[in-house]
Amino acid sequence: MSSLFSARWFRIYVVPGAVVQSVMVAGGYGTGRETVEYFTNFGFLGGTMGIGVAFLLIAVVLSLTFELSRIYRVYDYRNFFKLLLGRGWVAYEVIMILFFVLVLAVLASAAGNILQVHLHMPYFLGLSAMLILIGVLTFYGRELIAKVLTFWSLFLYVVFISYFVIVFSQSGDVILRVIGEGEIVSGWATSGFKYGAYNIASIPLLLYVVRGFESRREALVSGVVGAVIAVVPGLIFHVAFQAEYPDILQEEIPIYWSMVRLGTGTLLIVYSVMLFGTFIETGAGMLQGINDRLDAYLTERNGTTLSRSTHAVIAVAAVGISSLLSLVGITKLIAQGYGTIAWGFFAVYVIPVVVIGLPKILKSRSG
């Protein structure tokens, strides 16, 4: 595995997308709740087209962001948005902090639920374990985090594909019948757009994976590949969920509920471990972006950076504070919080990266 990670093609074309997907997947994606909320609610065909809308938006913004970061050598979100928005860069930070707290709250809620329901462990024990492990990852920094997120992403795909194969082997006729009906519920395009808009919000936090890019082709291709890696799990879930449609629409953690109904004991245990690990890597991946932003600022001011211990303390404190929000419940957090904040990111990130960023890329001679 270490030799694979050291291969340049892997670090350029796989690692960025895997890191993006790993950070995306736990804030609701890994539970299946996001897929239900933004895609499956709109029928099979409507949801599938919504996934297409999300893919296009993620691919465009990811590619433009990677290329801007490469050209101007900006690898933290503060300097990236200074490039795009000038003094208005703080607008992204304000919205991002709200989003960041929301994501951590969703992780805390889901982590507590998974351990409580499946392993019969106290709710706060799950939160404590997440705090400790995120603290350890952020202590050792971006290199370890990038490796963990990449290889965990590969593990995610193994589990998700295994789940799909089992569902299809037991309910393939039902899935094909529902697919054949081609149901479309109005609102799928807006929902897919909102999904893409808030999921790309964390991309500027992950610019530490762009440091090795050397050409425009690498940045643009990596952006498209990253979008594919990011949305395919959603498509897998969306198709599999047709076997339980429409009952699955009301479930807090749809994949867990589905696996219990399927009687897949071993896969259920593996899934629980995978999902809990995903909560940790998502939190660590985003917190590394926060730490990089603070380090870049301190470097500009006095030529120093925060210590590894301080990085870990910041991470643990952020998760601890956000966990208070977890008491609201994962369904409400995803349905109300994510959908609302998506429009803020559209205004301060999506529009500027296209309207301001694209002309900067086209004018640049750095190809």
pLDDT: is 247 or 125 the higher one? 247
Dist CA 250 CA 263 (whole Å): 20
Q: Is the pLDDT of residue 155 over 50?
A: yes
Answer whether 362's CB lies under 8 Å from 112's CB: no
For residue 366, name the pLDDT band (cuts at 50, 70, 90). low
Residue 164 structure tokens? 């799909």
Least confident of 61-75, 169-183, 265-279: 265-279
Question: Quick one: what percent of the chain has pLDDT higher than 90?
Answer: 32
Question: Is the CATH number of domain 14-363 2.130.10.10?
Answer: no
> In the prediction, which pLDDT does 353 show?
95
> In the prediction, which pLDDT does 76 show?
87
| Residues near 75 by beta carbon (within 8 Å), at least 6 away in sequence | 69, 207, 208, 210, 211, 292, 296
Q: Is the pLDDT of residue 357 over 80?
A: yes
Q: How many CA atoms lie within 13 A of 14 on its CB side?
A: 15
> In the prediction, which pLDDT does 317 show?
78
Q: Is the peptide bond before 246 cis (omega within 30 degrees of 0)?
A: yes
> In the prediction, which pLDDT does 273 show?
79
The average confidence (pLDDT) of the chain is 82
For the stretch 102-139, pLDDT in tens is: 777 766 666 666 667 666 777 667 667 777 888 888 88
Dist CA 145 CA 277 (whole Å): 12
Residue 355 structure tokens? 């309207």
Least confident of 189-198, 274-283, 299-308: 274-283
pTM of the model: 0.81
* Domain assignments of the chain as residue spans, ordered by start: 14-363
For residue 213, name the pLDDT band (cuts at 50, 70, 90). very high
| Residues near 346 by beta carbon (within 8 Å), at least 6 away in sequence | 197
Crossing angle of helices 142-181 and 43-72, in 10° steps, is 150
Q: Is the pLDDT of residue 219 over 60?
A: yes
- 109-145 burial: b if 16+ Cβ within 10 Å, else e: bbbbbbbebbeeeebeebbebbbebbbebbbebbeeb
- When pLDDT is averaged across residues 261-268 and rounded to a whole number, the result is 78
- Burial label for 101, CB within 10 Å (0-12, 13-18, 19+), is middle
> In the prediction, which pLDDT does 256 show?
79
Dist CA 110 CA 119 (whole Å): 13
Amino acid at 289: G
- 42-79 burial: b if 16+ Cβ within 10 Å, else e: bbbbbbbbbbebbbebbbbbbbbbbbbbbbbebbbbbb
Answer whether 278's CB lies under 8 Å from 156's CB: yes
| Cα 135-318-128 angle, rounded to 5 deg | 55
Q: How many CA atoms lie within 13 A of 284 on its CB side?
A: 31
Dist CA 131 CA 316 (whole Å): 5
Dist CA 89 CA 300 (whole Å): 16
> In the prediction, which pLDDT does 367 show?
63
For the stretch 85-102, pLDDT in tens is: 998 888 888 888 777 777
Q: Is the pLDDT of residue 282 over 50?
A: yes
Least confident of 279-288, 293-302, 327-336: 327-336
> In the prediction, which pLDDT does 339 show?
61
